[in-house]
Amino acid sequence: MEGHASGTAPKLIFEALTEQIIGAAIEVHKALGPGLLESVYEECLCHELHLRALKFQRQVTVPVLYKGVALDCGYRLDLIVEGSVILELKSIDRVLPIHEAQLLTYLKLLDKPVGFILNFNVPVLRRGGIIRKVFDSASPRLRGEKAFAAGLEGANVRE
User: Exposure pattern of 5-43 as b/e (b: 16+ CB <10 Å)?
Assistant: eeeeeeeeebeebbebbbebbbbbbeeeeeeeebeebbe
Q: How far apart, in whole angstroms, are the C-alpha atoms of residue 105 and residue 125?
A: 24
Spans of the chain, pLDDT less than 50: 1-6, 140-159
- Residue 14: per-residue pLDDT: 82
Instruction: Please answer whether residues 29 and 120 qualify as being in contact, where contact means their C-beta atoms are separated by less than 8 angstroms.
Output: yes
- Residue 64: the pLDDT is 86
**Can you give the pTM of this predicted structure?**
0.77
The helix or strand, by DSSP H or E, that contains position 61, with its residue range, turns out to be: strand 56-61
Closest Cα to residue 61, out of 34, 37, 80? 80
CA distance 37 to 111: 29
**Nearest-angstrom CA–CA distance, 78 and 92:** 15
CA pair distance 15, 11, nearest whole angstrom: 7
| Per-residue model confidence as pLDDT tens digits over 95-114 | 999 999 999 999 998 999 99
The rounded distance, in Å, linking the Cα atoms of 41 and 72 is 26
Question: Tell me, what DSSP letter sits at residue 67?
Answer: T
